[in-house]
Structure 1
Amino acid sequence: MKKYNYATLLLIALIAGCASDSDKQSKFDSELYDGRPVETFSTDAAPLTETEAIKRGDYALRQNNSDLALYEYIRSLEFPDSQYSDKTLYTIGRIHQSRGNYELAERAYLLALEHNPNNVQVLEQLGSNYSKQGKVDEGRSYFLRAINADQLRLSSRLKLDDDASVSEIEALSSDNLSPASAYMGLGILDDVKAQHEVAQAFYKHALRIQPKSSKALMNMGYSHYMSGNYTDATRFTLAALEQEPDNEKALNNLALIYLAKGETQRALNVFMRRMDAPEALNNVGYFLMLQGKPEKAIPYLQQAIDKKTSYYKIANENLERALAEVRAKTPEKAEMMSQ
């Protein structure tokens, strides 16, 4: 039988240890990783459980070390009986999305659904991402799936179809954990299709979940504006501005509503809250043109030019467009205005 001295045994142990560490390292799945080389991490011994790995990832994320967080989260997925893989993959997706790596984010979200097809957060996020990418059908599909998964979570027997009525939307269950963004997303998609009543039912439900959501209030206000209900449009838009007084989009919407109501001076005052007079006058003229009132736009565009001639090339272009539109309607009147 072979005999080994102490030095030889120590060397064998060290080699075995290195091989063991190498094996552990080789198990790391880099498919969802895009940070600095993992060899640079000076971590403690490998995590013994999924929960331990997740806690390490959470700590790294709180320390703004997203590379290490990704590394730990991905290691948590390696445990055979993992219970939180869908939630971890959602977090991995959010990290990639915050970095602008949408391809890896999408991959993580889709893998999460393989573990749990009814993960509401993942479904809602995919709906939002696809909608923003212009993939409207996919976005709508995931928004609907998110709401239906939420109904299952709430033990509701209701299911939302693509052609749901206002009463069916109003009957859905929800709580403060329900996917408000999915309701808003569907509302926006229906507003684009001029189905304003259905859109407003979705916004109403979103506001039931998040009563102070400036985005939901603003979308509700704009939906009423598009349907010609200027009273409610004003009410909801002002409510949105109570939550976010400097929200540029909400201010623009409020000015549009005032112009539609014929309250031009109030619209001008809204614009002047965040810009100088020439730009505000140009905006009034521009939006009046968009509303099919080029003859009313002309005086405001002329004032914008008079106040800042050297700068306001855009006002001159808008004035030419307004005159052309008026000329197309009433040639004689346009000729008098241009003199």
Structure 2
Amino acid sequence: MKQLWIVLVTVLFISGCASEPEPESFDSVLYDGRPIDTLTSELAPLTEKEAITRGDLALSSGNTDLALYEYIRSLEFEDAKYQDQSLYTIGRIHYSRGNFALSEKAYLMSVEYNPNNAKVLEHLGAMYTKQGNIEQGRSYFFRSVNADQVRLSNTDVFDGDELTVAGIDDLQVDNSSPALAYMGLGVLYDVEANHEIAKAFLHKALKIKPGSVKALINLGYSYYMNGEYNDAQRFTLAALEKSPNNENALNNLALIYLGKGEIKRAINVFMRHMDAAEALNNVGYFLILQGKPDKAIPYLEQAIDKKPSYYKVANENLERAVAEVRANKPKDTEPES
């Protein structure tokens, strides 16, 4: 009898262990953080929305490891509906941490769930462009713009091979449109010296985000590159009204003044965020680039006087300016015999 009791207890114990729930599975392919068993002691979320809410709370408090964990768990539910959005957020977290491989993986997975997620497409475009993969970046920017046109019920497919200013102007946008995609395309076409197309894209970006300092700076620079200095100055000053110490805007404004021949104003603008020697050297350098080496020489000499033992770059620029002046000087003709 005693032996039977022991057997029964053993059977009950084994049966009890077998009936306990299996440990929760976790797909760690998109996770990169501290050990997950240190993240939370809460019970597993019961729904996709609960997991996403937990992720949002963790992200808002700066706990990105826990946020990643919760967003990834939200993908596991069979009835999940928001995978593309969760994967977009996962990609953003990885990108902010400099983990571009996992960011790319999350974004591409998001596109598999929803090929028309304009935000994901524009961030893929920005990522590839920043990595130097210009054509792939451009392709995703166009896909983002077209996805947004689908959202806005514009049935015309935007063909990047047949770009016109009028066609860009006809694109529909609202405050949810992918401003980064429009801005990215504007910058790419500026680099290719197609400034009219660039300006059309940048105006769209500014329409989406009227207060965007980046859009104002890029649009001002596009006008500068096209020699339209008054418009360039207008948009650049608008950027500086919103961000008075923005170095990119200050540098661009100084270049605009140089383009207009207002050298003293250019120096004053440069000196708002650098010392006098650097400002004078910059003026000299850009005057050389503008094909005015003779005008550059006195400013480079002043830069050297400000920092004679330190400012090696000004000496190099001065040598270049002098060499160009000599090269451009007409040769004396020999007298006839």
TM bucket (normalised to shorter chain) is: over 0.9
Deviation at 1:39, TM superposition (A): 2.3
Match of 1:118 in 2: 116
Deviation digits for residues 189-209 of structure 1, max 9, x if unmatched? 111111111111111111111
Give the whole-Å Cα distance in 1 for the aligned partners of 2:36 and 2:46: 18
Task: Give 5+ residue unaligned stretches, structure 1.
Answer: 334-339
Give the whole-Å Cα distance in 1 for the aligned partners of 2:62 and 2:265: 46
Give the whole-Å Cα distance in 2 for the aligned partners of 1:14 and 1:68: 30
Match of 1:324 in 2: 323
Deviation at 1:228, TM superposition (A): 1.0
Q: CA RMSD in A?
A: 1.8
Residue 35 (str. 1) matches residue 33 (str. 2): yes
Give the whole-Å Cα distance in 1 for the aligned partners of 2:277 and 2:58: 50
User: Structure 1's 57 and 171: CA in aligned 2 closer, same or farther, altered over 3 A?
Assistant: same
Contact 2:58 2:67 in 1 (8 A): yes
Match of 2:168 in 1: 169
Contact 2:190 2:198 in 1 (8 A): yes
Match of 2:134 in 1: 136
Contact 2:284 2:297 in 1 (8 A): yes
Contact 2:175 2:209 in 1 (8 A): yes
Give the whole-Å Cα distance in 2 for the aligned partners of 1:250 and 1:41: 43
Q: 78, 81, 87: which is aligned to 1:80?
A: 78
Deviation at 1:332, TM superposition (A): 7.4
Residue 209 (str. 1) matches residue 208 (str. 2): yes
Count of residues in Structure 1 that have an aligned counterpart in Structure 2: 327
Give the whole-Å Cα distance in 1 for the aligned partners of 2:266 and 2:323: 24
Contact 2:126 2:184 in 1 (8 A): yes
Indicate the SS of the match to 1:155.
coil
Deviation at 1:236, TM superposition (A): 1.0
Deviation at 1:326, TM superposition (A): 1.2
Q: 94, 102, 105: which is aligned to 1:104?
A: 102
Give the whole-Å Cα distance in 1 for the aligned partners of 2:181 and 2:247: 23
1:16-31 to 2 correspondences below 5 Å: 16-17=19-20, 20-22=21-23, 24=24, 27-31=25-29
The residue type paired with residue 205 of structure 1 is K
The residue type paired with residue 288 of structure 1 is L
Match of 1:95 in 2: 93
Give the whole-Å Cα distance in 1 for the aligned partners of 2:175 and 2:156: 18
Residue 225 (str. 1) matches residue 224 (str. 2): yes
Give the whole-Å Cα distance in 1 for the aligned partners of 2:104 and 2:200: 29
Give the whole-Å Cα distance in 2 for the aligned partners of 1:85 and 1:304: 58
Deviation digits for residues 144-202 of structure 1, max 9, x if unmatched? 11111111111112221113211111111111000111111111111111111111111
The residue type paired with residue 258 of structure 1 is Y
Give the whole-Å Cα distance in 1 for the aligned partners of 2:16 and 2:59: 36
Indicate the SS of the match to 1:92.
helix
Give the whole-Å Cα distance in 2 for the aligned partners of 1:33 and 1:109: 14
1:1-339 to 2 correspondences below 5 Å: 9=12, 12-14=15-17, 16-17=19-20, 20-22=21-23, 24=24, 27-162=25-160, 163-330=162-329
Contact 2:40 2:66 in 1 (8 A): no
The residue type paired with residue 102 of structure 2 is L
TM-score by length of 1: 0.92
TM-score by length of 2: 0.92
Give the whole-Å Cα distance in 1 for the aligned partners of 2:279 and 2:58: 47
Task: Give 5+ residue unaligned stretches, structure 2.
Answer: 333-337
Indicate the SS of the match to 1:67.
helix
Deviation digits for residues 283-314 of structure 1, max 9, x if unmatched? 11111112111111000000111122122122
Give the whole-Å Cα distance in 2 for the aligned partners of 1:171 and 1:218: 23
Deviation at 1:5, TM superposition (A): 5.9
